[in-house]
Amino acid sequence: MDIVVCIKRVPETAEAEIKVDSSGKDILKERLTFDINESDNYALEEAILLKEKRGGTVTLISVGPPECEDTIRMGLAKGADQAIRVSNEGFGELDGFATAEILKNTIQDLSYDLILTGCMATDDGYSQVGPTLAELLGIPHAVLVTKVDLQDGNARVERELEGGLLEALEIKLPALFAIQTGINEPRYASLIAIRRAAAKEIKVLNAQAIGLERPTLRTRVENLFPPPVGKRAEILKGGAEETSKRLAQIYKSKGII
């Protein structure tokens, strides 16, 4: 069972103070920390668990600048066997489709049974790369996957639907699954694995090497801005007792409690 996992290095923005840069099209990143995208971390763990159960290899692929190698090494330390970084140099701006195209050109020459991605990147929130990559490769896919059970040539997966429903699917391999958070419990990397990962080679490919000089850019960011404050927003002022009383009144009047 050879598994390819696509991972992205993203800035931690959930609890950070975010400022738009002077171009108006990106955020200032100097004061942000970076880590593996949350659902990609679950995809990575799922791949390692599947490898532990059934043998085979795990290959990591990430598109981005040299700093991505920190994230890749973390994945190698957790148990991935090999890694490729596709340098984003010369690609310019990338959207979900363009990233999927780069990944397709990188992956099509590899031998694989399964591709795992996260279900959404926490920075741009597009959720496009997984399904688009599957379409470009001409393989079936499932998104928001919460369970993976491999059989010979097939996979039984469960995925989340709206309204609390789960959908069970049987999918022919090779296939791509976009993994939902919470599917497993991501592991720590051990000191010895960290040590070994430091010495592992990360293959770096450029546009020429993957035969894609200019990925197709179909969307372009016009500008970023904080959402305008809604008209119905009400900021409660005063001490804890006063505001909690007022809050309870509002809840009651709206029939929430």
Partner 1 sequence: MMETSTTPIWELRDIIIEAGATDIYKCYQCGKCASVCPWYQTEAVNFPTYKFPLAAQLGRIASSEGKEELAREVEEVYRCVGCEACVEQCPQGVNIPNTLRAVRRILVDYGSYPDTLKPVVSKIHNVGNPLGEPGEKRRDWAKDLAIPLFQPGMEYLYFPGCFPAYDPRLRKVATSTAKVLKKAGVSFGILGEKEWCCGEAIRRAGAEKIFQEAAQSNISAFRNAGVKKVVVTSPHCYTTFKNEYPLLGADFEVFHITQLFYQLIEEGKLKPHQLSQLPELGEPNDSKSQRAKDPIKVVYHDPCTLGRQNGIYEEPRGVLKNIPGLELLEIGDFSHQFALCCGGGSGGLWLDWPKGERMADIRVQQAIETGAKVLAVACPYCLQMFEDSVKTMNLGLKVMDIAELLAESL
Residues that bind partner 1 (CB under 8 A): 12, 14-17, 31-33, 35-36, 73-74, 77-78, 187-192, 194-195, 197
Supply the minimum distance, in Å, between the C-beta of residue 14 and partner 1.
8
> For residues 132-156, b (16+ Cβ closer than 10 Å) or e, as one string?
bbbebbebbbbbbbbbbebeeeebe
If the CB atoms of residues 18 and 168 are measured against partner 1, the closer one turns out to be 18
In angstroms and rounded to an integer, the radius of gyration of the C-alpha atoms of the chain is 21
Supply the minimum distance, in Å, between the C-beta of residue 250 and partner 1.
22
If the CB atoms of residues 29 and 169 are measured against partner 1, the closer one turns out to be 29
If the CB atoms of residues 74 and 207 are measured against partner 1, the closer one turns out to be 74
Supply the minimum distance, in Å, between the C-beta of residue 17 and partner 1.
5
Supply the minimum distance, in Å, between the C-beta of residue 193 and partner 1.
8
Pair of tokens at residue 109: 């020459």
Own/partner long-range contacts of 214-217 (Cβ < 8 Å, ≥24 apart): 215/91, 215/94, 215/97, 215/98, 215/99, 215/101, 215/102, 216/97, 216/98, 216/101, 217/92, 217/93, 217/94, 217/95, 217/97, 217/98
If the CB atoms of residues 75 and 174 are measured against partner 1, the closer one turns out to be 75
If the CB atoms of residues 79 and 215 are measured against partner 1, the closer one turns out to be 79
Supply the minimum distance, in Å, between the C-beta of residue 206 and partner 1.
26
